[in-house]
Chains A and B, each alone.
Chain A
Amino acid sequence: MTLKKHTGKKNKIKIIKSGLKYTQDIQIKGSFIVIEGPDASGRSTQIQKITTKLEAEGHAVINAGLGRSDLVSKGIKEAKRNFLLGKRTMALYYAADFADQIENKIIPALKAGFIVISDRYIYTPIARSSVRGINRNWLHNLFSFAIKPDMVFYLDVDSYNLINRVFQKKYSLDYYESGVDLGISNDIYDSFIKYQYALKKEFEKMRSRYSLIDIDGNKNIDEVFQQIQTKIDDFLTLDNKETMIK
């Protein structure tokens, strides 16, 4: 690889739409990468591998993710346990969750030149809420305050494959991840397949709007990593990142 001259050029932060107009002119140096995909799709494994590789290459990496706001996450967990939360309330909780992470963690990190890797982003709550009957336009608008990531990978895994992976992990299906609250089927297995299929359809609908990059998650860990890593490498080269000594 040839050594590229580091231009020191700063990128303007990208905003999906209105919302946070007061952050529109912030200059950033870092990059923002998102990994989306259902439970057991291999997200955390891939994030670990990407993080290790980027750090070995000399980049500073920080993680964010769904339900990781210091301010809101405990509240979401408690609310889920103690109260039956409404569908809209849930969507708004996750919006607050990301608003806190974006403004108090992601933007400061991007300013400082970090690579931020988020384990799921606004797309999961949009898909989940939409399947539960909340109007899509309302959801897109609600989350329009969010900053636009540089790359969003969606790990696409066949529902039957997914269920086998879940069983390998913990021998049982999770209530929410199976969409049991939707009352699609009395059978949790059926419910899981149908719910995951409905979510997959929602992600398909978002693909072009949010430039999601589909990754075939049915392949083995290394093949999936290879696909993601190549794309990240290409992007970082284009992004005028300094090439590090290996």
Chain B
Amino acid sequence: MVKDNTYYKTEVFSLHFSNRYKTKDRKDFGILIVVEGIDGSGKSTQIRLLDKWLRLKEYNVFFTEWNSSASVKEITSKGKRKAILTPTIFSLLHATDFADRYERNIYPLLRAGYIVLADRYIYTALARDTVRGCDKKWVENVYNYAIKPDIVFYFQIPIETAVDRIISGRPKLKHYEAGMDLNISKDEFESYRIFQGRITDQYESMIDSQNFTVIDATMDIEKQQNITRKHILKILNNKKSG
């Protein structure tokens, strides 16, 4: 019988896939643009307009949004229906969704030179999961492999304005959307307001440390769009001149 150790000498570990070399510094590496902000801040409207604009300029663009991976979405919806999502399960399902989109699309497309537009990125998880009671260091670790975006637009808005935009004309809010799992208040609208307020506090605390570009989301849509476009043009030009 052949002894085990003839195989032991084979360096299996040399097969480790290394992502450590800095592809990000390559000139032909793509650009990652992120929008963040609470529901009703208008960030999705803005990123859709950016998407149209960049495609018209004939860039290769990929748009990705939070909680949209086909394989994970179904599980999350099931968990929401059954209301068995604890903060940790919730956090891990979103982390799985993100990893799936990251490994499948975001990272390979960036390597191929695409402009990737992300409606919410890891900052949403850092803010929401922390508010739900997960340990912040733990959440940071879960997402620490994700590449740093070229720019993060944070759409800053007074809570009342954003909340009014969301709840006006809606008789009911969804259980998790309203943060009812946090047991803040029996009234779902009241709960929603407090929940959004706490998320805002988390976002605000990240402005400097995560280098957010703050956009005043109370301005006219056109004006906000022009400001974001100016920032993007600058990044595109820097990339060109390398």
Q: Do A and B come from one complex?
A: yes
Using a CB–CB distance below 8 Å, which chain A residues touch chain B?
Answer: 18-22, 71-72, 75, 78-79, 82-83, 85-89, 92-93, 95-96, 99-100, 103-104, 131-133, 135, 138, 141-142, 144-145, 158-160, 182-184, 190, 193-195, 197-198
Identify the 6 closest CB pairs spanning chains A and B, nearest first. Answer: A86-B103, A133-B16, A96-B92, A18-B135, A92-B96, A79-B71
How long is the Cα–Cα vector from A193 to B9 in the complex, in angstroms?
Answer: 12
Q: What are 30 A-B residue pairs whose CB atoms fall within 8 Å in the complex?
A: A18-B137, A18-B138, A19-B135, A19-B138, A22-B133, A71-B75, A71-B78, A71-B84, A71-B89, A78-B71, A83-B104, A86-B102, A92-B95, A95-B92, A103-B89, A104-B84, A132-B17, A138-B145, A141-B138, A141-B141, A144-B138, A160-B2, A160-B4, A182-B15, A183-B15, A184-B15, A194-B7, A194-B12, A195-B12, A197-B12
How long is the Cα–Cα vector from A132 to B141 in the complex, in angstroms?
Answer: 19
What is the total number of residues of chain B having a CB less than 8 Å from a CB of chain A?
A: 43
Taking CB atoms, residues of chain B closer than 8 Å to A182 are 15
Using a CB–CB distance below 8 Å, which chain B residues touch chain A?
Answer: 1-2, 4, 7-8, 10, 12-13, 15-18, 70-72, 74-75, 78-79, 82, 84, 86-89, 92-93, 95-96, 99-100, 102-104, 133-135, 137-138, 141-142, 144-145
Looking at chain B's contact residues, the main secondary structure is helix
How long is the Cα–Cα vector from A21 to B134 in the complex, in angstroms?
Answer: 7
How long is the Cα–Cα vector from A95 to B75 in the complex, in angstroms?
Answer: 14
Report the nearest B residue to A21, measured CB to CB: B135
Residue picked from B13, B15, B82, most chain A C-beta under 10 Å: B15
Determine if A75 and B75 form an interchain contact, defined as CB atoms under 8 angstroms apart.
yes
Determine if A96 and B12 form an interchain contact, defined as CB atoms under 8 angstroms apart.
no
Report the nearest B residue to A142, measured CB to CB: B142
How long is the Cα–Cα vector from A183 to B14 in the complex, in angstroms?
Answer: 12
A-B contact count (CB 8 A): 115
Taking CB atoms, residues of chain A closer than 8 Å to B95 are 92, 95-96
Report the nearest B residue to A103, measured CB to CB: B86
Determine if B104 and A86 form an interchain contact, defined as CB atoms under 8 angstroms apart.
yes
Other A-B pairs, 11, CB within 8 Å; known A89-B104, A92-B96, A95-B96: A19-B134, A19-B138, A21-B133, A22-B133, A71-B79, A71-B82, A72-B75, A99-B92, A100-B84, A160-B4, A198-B13
